[in-house]
Chains A and B, each alone.
Chain A
Amino acid sequence: SQTIHQWPATLVQPVGSPLSLECTVEGTSNPNLYWYRQAAGRGLQLLFYSVGIGQISSEVPQNLSASRPQDRQFILSSKKLLLSDSGFYLCAWKVAGSSYEQYFGPGTRLTVT
């Protein structure tokens, strides 16, 4: 069966520090991968998605970047965090192609201080 891992679960970082959040998927090949951010009590904002290794689409210009160094690994990074980067970050995957549901990881709660 397929499993999605996301870590860390919580993170407190000072303004200006770097960020690296990692997401890995098991039990499937060539998944579509997604990073979302959710502000408290709000909906999900799509940040990045990837349909293959090295293929990243950015939805929102911002202080973040994403990379997909391996088929089932998706990394969200920042060189210098801003206060506005605080939020709940969710990684998700789905079977390649359209009309499939997404499967979400447990999320990372990031607080920038």
Chain B
Amino acid sequence: SQQGEEDPQALSIQEGENATMNCSYKTSINNLQWYRQNSGRGLVHLILIRSNEREKHSGRLRVTLDTSKKSSSLLITASRAADTASYFCATDAGSGTYKYIFGTGTRLKVLA
């Protein structure tokens, strides 16, 4: 079945540095989304990029999508301690579906 896989599984950086995490998926999609999860909490939507878009920005977030490689990346610039969380990509299963498949996540730790 289709599954997003993020890498790295874990990432530790210093405050102020940039954090990049990647997501790969297996089948064609309509859109790809990134979510953040603080420990023990629900997920929060960060950004959605459609299959006909190549790059999207939201504040300190930059998402790219390469449908030919079936991959996406999330860049967090000028990271803060508050960015410490797990980040997940989610892909829809193509046209006419209602479900999303989540990846395994990247655990980001930003050291103050």
Residues of chain A at the chain B interface (Cβ within 8 Å): 6, 32, 34, 36, 41-44, 46, 49, 51, 57, 59, 88, 90, 92, 98-107, 109
Chain A nearest CB from B35 CB (Å) reads 8
Q: Cβ of A98 and Cβ of B92 under 8 Å apart?
A: yes
Name the residue in B30, B90, B96, B98 with the highest tally of chain A Cβ atoms < 10 Å from its Cβ: B98
Q: Which residue of A lies closest to B97 (CB)?
A: A98
Binary A-proximity of B15-31 (CB < 8 A = 1, otherwise 0): 00000000000000011
Give 4 new A-B contacts, CB below 8 A, not counting A43-B105, A98-B98, A106-B42: A43-B88, A57-B98, A90-B42, A107-B41
Q: Cβ of B92 and Cβ of A99 under 8 Å apart?
A: yes
Chain B nearest CB from A7 CB (Å) reads 13
Chain B nearest CB from A98 CB (Å) reads 6
Q: Cβ of A106 and Cβ of B41 under 8 Å apart?
A: yes
Interface size class of B (residues with CB under 8 A): 20 to 34
Whether a CB of chain A sits under 8 angstroms from the CB of B64 is: no
Contact with B98, one of A32, A42, A104 (Cβ below 8 angstroms): A32
Chain B residues with Cβ under 8 A from A105's Cβ? 42
**What are 8 A-to-B residue pairs whose CB atoms are below 8 Å?**
A6-B42, A34-B100, A41-B107, A43-B102, A46-B102, A98-B98, A99-B48, A104-B42
Bound together, the chains give a CA A110 to CA B75 distance in angstroms of 33
Q: Cβ of A44 and Cβ of B102 under 8 Å apart?
A: yes
